[in-house]
Homo-oligomer: A and B are copies of this chain.
Amino acid sequence: MTRGSQTREQIEAKALQLFVEQGVAETSVRDIAQAVGIADGALYRHFASKDALVGHLFKANYIRFAEELDRLQAAAPDCHAKLAAMVGGFCRFFDADPVLFRFLLFVQHGQLAKIGAEVSTPVDIVRNVLEAAMTRGEITRRDPALATAWVFGIVLQTATAAVYGRLSPKLTPLRDEIVGAAWRALAGTAIDRA
Seen from chain A, the residues whose Cβ lies within 8 Å of a Cβ on chain B are 23, 25-26, 80, 109-110, 142-143, 145-146, 148-150, 152-158, 160-161, 166-167, 174, 176-177, 180-194
Contacts and interface: CB of A to CB of B under 8 A. Distances in A.
A113 to B, nearest CB: 10
Given A157-B157, A180-B193, 8 more contacts: A23-B25, A145-B166, A146-B174, A149-B167, A150-B185, A154-B154, A183-B194, A187-B191
**This protein's copies in its complex:** 4
B183 A193 contact: yes
Interface majority SS (helix, strand, loop, mixed), chain A:
helix
Given A177-B191, A191-B187, A157 B161 contact: no
A86 to B, nearest CB: 15
A160 B149 contact: yes
Given A23-B25, A25-B23, A161-B145, A180 B152 contact: no
